[in-house]
Structure 1
């Protein structure tokens, strides 16, 4: 039931273009970057480290720590020694009691957008934000994923040509890291690909594209006021099936064509909770919130939650008094005969604002 909901994916279309089979309600805007994030000055000790040798690598795994840190730091140290490279290394990785490497500069939390201007390659965990910052800087990238979407971004970096294949942290060895560092240090084609990708990403404006996507996907037909459309609709007149703005309502009041009792709040609000395992208890709390708050909820999706007779009872009680909900999607739940009977009885008592109820696939106790 989510297929018609507008989505905006905030990654670079230069990195992952929008697939041809995605509908018009789905956009790929580009990354979001703060315009001032790369401004600032370096600490003096880091500035000194940078002056005393070739451009270093950056190695860091973000907020991930406690994942066999001592083994990983030893691998990093040995790989840097064997490749003759220097590196700025996230302080969380550094084992201070064994730290004697002048080729390593440990650094705490610091702006990637600023720091990446001073390195010529990066090695990280494949977090979406770090991947974006590194590719925007035009840097060849090694991804050492730990879990989740980090593997995906490692594959994306490899497919783009901006880095070698991902090296899972659990199986990382000195030899595999040495090989990867050697590739990003010496592969001139990879460096050019990374620089070209960085140029394209820097020429995108993800924030502006996302705002344009948001406005393009607005449900304007449900927002515009009938009779006169200067202001958005904020009231509904059920007797005439109209949605009107406050200025329109005032005109109708002044000509004695309408009373305030005939107005109910109007909004475009929809709530999608499909496949979230809300359960009967969650359904009870949700029904209470809708009944007791001044909500303008119009569409409610509660598909595939395993909701039973108890949850159906709570929803039925809410429907008896609710005056705004007009579409309820309640498919693929375990309502049983009694649950569906309760909902049917509620429909007989409500003010008929509800125009559609989807019970497709809900389990019955008898044929």
Structure 2
């Protein structure tokens, strides 16, 4: 965090931008924009900084519970967490043109919420300055798929499993649960091992299992029967946009929030916390997810009509 906060200031000053678009975690971005005298825009991929009574803050301890009018108070948790890095922000200010942060802070001109309204309908209490753009995606990645992967998914009806960067313990146990559940339902399984979230044991290898470090979602999700994933914002949107039902196994951060949202929207089974993941639990959850294919396809069609990047650029063009 310390290196990132300093680098954000250094690179922003060196680039001299017309506008600063930043994630809420880039705590040093506001002072960089103020020091350069340019507007800034907040970009969120999960609701963390933009409070609402409609749902709790993603990533907080109550992210899976609807607390009604108390939902807004949960956004104090990420704000409090940000204060842990206050000294690092002050240290990063040394790289500003005058070597110190401006005396006043200018509010952001707008917020780009890179979230699909199909997964999170716009709440009534967001300001007009908050733009629910739809997800940001790049379908061109589908052209960069390995031939072996393309052959494996060519006929569809497969299960895809990905835990992205969630390289916490138990990678082989997770893969064992995934393969066991897939075989129980007669599904071939593509394991995307990522940064170590999944590791295929030798005794599970077979023609019905392919394990690769990574593959572009636009190439392997269409035609899949179900996806098992950790529930990150990007993965959740990619799977939903492909029109494929899911089983979410959240690990941390905003993942429990998205697991709950996907289930509420009818396109995923009830989430299974990673500490409760077993083959038996996955067998039941996959059976549930397979019944949700129609609803998932409906949501996917609606999401594919969205152009979140164009909507975001339209907002920036009006600054």
TM over 0.5: yes
Secondary structure at the residue paired with 1:209? helix
- Distance of 1:155 and 1:163 partners within structure 2: 9
Structure 1 residue 166 corresponds to structure 2 residue 268: no
Displacement of 1:36 = 1.6
Q: Does 1:112 align with 2:214?
A: no
CA distance 1:3–1:26, shift in 2 (3 Å): farther
1:81 is matched with 183
Q: Which residue of structure 2 aligns with residue 69 of structure 1?
A: 171
Bigger Rg, which one: 1
Offset of residue 184 of structure 1: 2.1
- 1:195 Cα deviation after fit: 0.8
From 25, 31, 41, give the equivalent of 2:129: 25
> Residues 68-120 of structure 1: CA distance to partner in whole angstroms, max 9, x if unpaired?
11221222232223222221112341334334333211122111111112422
Deviations 1:244-290 (A, max 9, x none): xxxxxxxxxxxxxxxxxxxxxxxxxxxxxxxxxxxxxxxxxxxxxxx
Structure 2 residue matching 1:89: 3-state secondary structure: strand
Distance 1:205 1:120 in 2: 25
Could you tell me which residue of structure 2 aligns to residue 299 of structure 1? Answer: none
After TM superposition, list the pairs within 5 Å mapping 1:26-105 onto structure 2: 26-43=130-147, 45-50=148-153, 55-91=157-193, 92=196, 93-105=198-210
Find the counterpart in structure 2 of residue 135 from structure 1. Answer: 240
Q: Which has the higher contact order (CA 8 A, sep 6+)?
A: 2
**Structure 1 equivalent of residue 67 of structure 2:** none
- Matched with 1:213 is 315
> What stretches of structure 1 move > 4 A for 4+ residues in a row?
1-5
Aligned length: 212
Give the deviation of 1:208 after TM superposition: 1.1
Preserved CA contact (<8 Å) 1:29 1:213: no
Q: TM-score, normalised by structure 2?
A: 0.61
Q: 1:169, CA displacement in angstroms? A: 0.7
Q: Which residue of 1 aligns with 2:102?
A: none
- State the shift of 1:4 in Å: 6.7
Look up the SS of the partner of 1:106 in the other structure: strand
Unpaired runs of at least 5, structure 2? 1-104
Q: Please state whether the residue corresponding to 1:181 is helix, strand or coil.
A: helix
Q: Which runs of 5+ in 1 are unaligned?
A: 219-367
Residue equivalent to 2:62: none
Q: Does residue 1:201 correspond to 2:303, yes or no?
A: yes
